[in-house]
Amino acid sequence: MVLYHETLAYRSDASKNGTLLTPAQREALVAPYLPAPKPARSNSARKTRPVRTFLQTQLHILVFNVIHTLFSLYIRLRHAYHAVLSRVLAILYYHHRTPELIRKDVRGLSRLPEHLSVILELQQTGGGAGLEALLDEVAEVAAWCACVGIPVLSVYERTGALKTYIPATHRAVATKLQEYFGKGRPSLQVRAPHMPSFLNGDLSEQATPLGDSGHLSVLLLSSEDGRSTIVDLTRTLAEMSQHQKLLPSDISSDLIDAEISESVTSDPELLLLFGPYVNLQGYPPWQLRLTEIFHVQDNVGVEYQVFLRALHNYAKAQMRFGR
């Protein structure tokens, strides 16, 4: 605590512009109230800290490089393993565009999906090369499904480019089926939600099947068939409930499932991705509740061996739907 006479002396000196006390007296007056000075660091301490910091930095760099090297080695070995495995499977199970060989590859499976869905991507290239490659991929997968006896194939492409080329898609798939089956190819239907469908090249739903190889239905989906469909259905149900056309107690998951299945598609048993990782790209979420999702790590491109591995994986999968 500052003493009264010290305060009085300081204020008197200040009022006289510092003429009453000498500099030494002023220092002695405030000295008891100043903090203790810090001890000066020695030259050895000043030299030790930069050396310690340098060693820590080098240690961190070494640990980072070791981790980066090990992870890079793991990634390269994994890529090499999957590349070799894919080539071996492609050689052992090449189908030669022969339905009999494809059926032989799945003959021992205990079950096959009734509805297979795939996610494909339109490559943004100059001209129409990207769309042409996408149509060829759709046609290949459709031919494989027809060979093994899968009646429904849904193809999801995020931008909806396929939905604007339904006749071209039908021609591409029909041409591919002709290459596989010849004149006895299955009847083919290509459709999209809320759009006219093509059955054997006609808009009519009463066209006659071309052969005894069954029927294949190809459904084209895009991102607008996903969350926006659920939003529109929710709005419709809310308006019907407000106008007393539907009781709130009547709205259930079964009703929503029936409406979405009728307007978009039913739930696929198997969803196949041909990319190196799982990327759903906005796929309709309601249809994926009970779907088995399959992809091959580090795979790029639509390959028959990926399709075959997906069917084998589906046949061995355990479906636990709960109570």
Model pLDDT, residue 180: 93
| pLDDT reported for residue 319 | 75
d(C-alpha 118, C-alpha 138), whole Å: 9
More confident residue, 201 or 272: 272
pLDDT at 209 over 60: no
Average confidence score pLDDT of the chain: 84
Q: How far is CA 123 from CA 103, 221, 271, in A?
A: 31, 17, 21
Is 129 a residue whose pLDDT tops 50? Answer: yes
Q: Mean pLDDT throughout 3-28?
A: 78
State how far the Cα of 40 lies from the Cα of 35, in Å rounded to an integer. 15
Highest mean pLDDT among 140-149, 200-209, 240-249, 273-282: 140-149
pLDDT range class, residue 127, cuts 50, 70, 90: low
Q: What is the DSSP letter of 197?
A: -
What mean pLDDT is predicted for residues 64-83?
95
- Report residue 147's pLDDT band, with 50, 70 and 90 as the boundaries: very high
Strands (E), 109-185: 115-119, 152-156
Place of tokens 């890079």: 72
Half-sphere exposure of 107 (CA within 13 A, CB side): 7
With cut-offs at 50, 70 and 90, classify the pLDDT of residue 36.
Answer: confident
Q: Report helix, strand or coil for 7.
A: helix
pLDDT above 80 for 38: no
Where is pLDDT greater, at 20 or 298? 298
- Tell whether the model's pLDDT for residue 168 goes beyond 70: yes
Q: Residue 210's pLDDT band (boundaries 50, 70, 90)?
A: very low
